[in-house]
Amino acid sequence: MRQLWPGIALVLLAACSGADRDFSESSIADLHDQMQRGELSSAELVDWYIDRIEAIDQAGPGLNAIIEINPDARDTAAALDQEWQTSGPRGPLHGIPVVLKANIDTADQMYTSAGSLALAEHVPEEDAFIVKRLRNAGAVILAKANLSEWANFRSSHSSSGWSSVGGQTRNPYDTARSPCGSSSGSGVAVAANLTVVAVGTETDGSVVCPSGMNGIVGIKPTLGLVSRSGIIPGAHSQDTAGPMARSVRDAAILLTAMTGIDADDPATAAAEIHHDYSANLTADGLSGKRIGVIRSYYGAGSVPGVEEVLEASIAALKAQGAEIVDDIHIAIGDMYDDEDTVFLYELKADLAAYFNTSGAPVGSLADVIAFNKAHADTVMPFFGQDYFLLAQESGPLTDEAYQAALENSKRAARAGIDGALKEDELDALIAPTNGPAWMIDHINGDTFSVGSSSLAAVSGYPNITVPAGFVSGLPIGLSFIGKPWNEKQLIEIAYAFEQATGVRRAPALSSGN
C-alpha cells in the first residue's frame, strides 16, 4: 500500500479547505452550482475528499476502497480553478473528482496494477482513451480504486474486493460483508462518499453487482460505446468500462464524457453516440413504457426479501404509467458453458496483447503464473490461480472450440433479449441486480445468491442498475436491460424509476471531518 498523503499535509489541507463543510451525497450539479457562485473551488473539494479518504477508508471503518491517491490531484484542481476564472468551465465535469479502477491506464505518478503485485509498479506509457476523454472534460483524476485481483479472473475461489496490492475492500453497509466485484473499490468509494463519481469495468457483472450491492447506480454500456484501449483486459468480447455514481443523472454525465470513437478500438466504430445522456431526463420518463419482468434470474426465489423488493419496484413502475409484461421467459441453452470457454481463451490472448503494448514488466499469462508461484506467500495467501492455469492451457483464438463458443454464446444471449423485446414490444427488461451482501470468506470465496448480469454481458447490450430496496439493511439494485445503443432511452427509464422511488440511503459512517 502506497502512502496516501503525508499526515502533516492533511492537517494543513483541512485547515485551509473549509473542512467543517460536508459534501456527502452532493451531486455534480450541486457542486457546480457552488463553484459558479464562488463558494467552492475544485482544490477545496479535492482536499475534502482526501481528508475523508484518510478518515474513513484507511482509518475509521477501514473500507479499504482506495489503493492510492493521485499526487497530482490538487495541482490539477488548482489549474482547473484558474481556468474556470479565466475562460469558464469546460462542461459539467470541470473540477469534479473521479476515481478510476486500478486496471485503467494512467500515464502519471500512479500505478496500473489490476491489484496484482506482478504489476505493482507498472506505469503505462500513455493514458487509456477514456482517461484522455475525462481529462479533456476537466475531470480531476483523484485516485485509483482497489478491485478483485485481475478482475476476479485468477481463481474460482476468489474473494471479491481482495487484491495482493490493496488487501480486502469492505462493504460500507456492513464491513464484515462483501462489496461484490470486481469493481469493488469503485463502488464503495462512491457509496461512502470518497469521491463524486467513479469508473469501473465489467466483463460479467463487475459494474452492476458492486453498484447494486453498495446502493449506487451503475451503467454497463453497449459493447463499443466506451473504448477498451488502455484497460487491462479480461475478455475483449464482453469487456467494457462503465460509470458508477450515486444518481442516474451523475452516471449519465460521466458516461457522456467517456464515450467517443477510438481508432485503437474497432468496436467503437459502430457506436451510436449521443452527446449528452443527461439531457431531457424527466420524472415522467416511464409513462407509456412497456417493461418486461424476468423471473428466471439466477437465484430466483432463493433469498427472502429480494422478491419483495422486485414486487415493490414493479408497483412503482406501474404507478408511474409503465405497462408491465410479467414473467418473460428467455431460453439461453448452453450460454454459461460457452461463456466460460470464451473467457479462458480470451484472457490468455488479451493479456498478452496488453502486456506487449503497455510497457508492462511481464509479457504473458505464463509470466504472471510464474510470478505468483514465486511470491505465493503474499500473492496467494487465501486462494490460488486455478483459473489462470486453465486459461494457460487454451489455444489460439483461431481454435474451432473458441470460435464455436463465441458464436453460440452471443447468439443465445442476443436472440433471448431481442426476441423478448420484439415479441412483447418492450422498451426494457428488469430483474433484481443482486441479493444481500454475503459475509467475506477468504477460505470458501464468494457466495453469490442472486444475479442477472449475464444476458446483457454476453450479448454486449446495455444494463443499468438503480437502488431498489434493502434486505436486512443491505442494498438491492434493480437492473434495466435494453437493446444495443439504446442507452439514452434506458437512462430516461432508470431516471424516472429513481425519482419515483428515492431508495438511495447513504451508509452510516463517521467522516471524521
The catalytic site residues sit at 101, 182, 206
First to last CA, the chain: 23
Torsion sign over Cα 405, 406, 407, 410? positive
Beta bridge partners of 52: none
The set of cell numbers assigned to 185 is 473499490
Over its C-alpha atoms, the chain yields an Rg (Å, rounded) of 21
The set of cell numbers assigned to 152 is 476476479
Which helix (DSSP H) or strand (DSSP E) does residue 162 occupy? strand 162-163
> Which of the 8 DSSP states describes residue 300?
T
Name the residue among 159, 164, 165 with its Cα closest to residue 182. Answer: 159
The set of cell numbers assigned to 410 is 452471443
Alpha-carbon span 222 to 238, nearest angstrom: 9
State how far Cα 330 lies from the chain centre.
26
Strand order in the sheet with 217-220: 66-69, 140-145, 97-101, 197-202, 240-245, 217-220, 463-471, 474-481, 428-432, 290-294, 323-328
Return the SS3 of 172: coil
Q: Residue 373: which residues within 8 A CB-CB, separation 6 or more?
A: none
Q: Taking the CB of residue 76, how many other CB atoms lie within 10 A of it? A: 22
> Which of the 8 DSSP states describes residue 133?
H
Alpha-carbon span 191 to 244, nearest angstrom: 9
Alpha-carbon span 67 to 87, nearest angstrom: 34
Alpha-carbon span 210 to 357, nearest angstrom: 30
Q: Are 164 and 378 in contact (CB under 8 A)?
A: yes
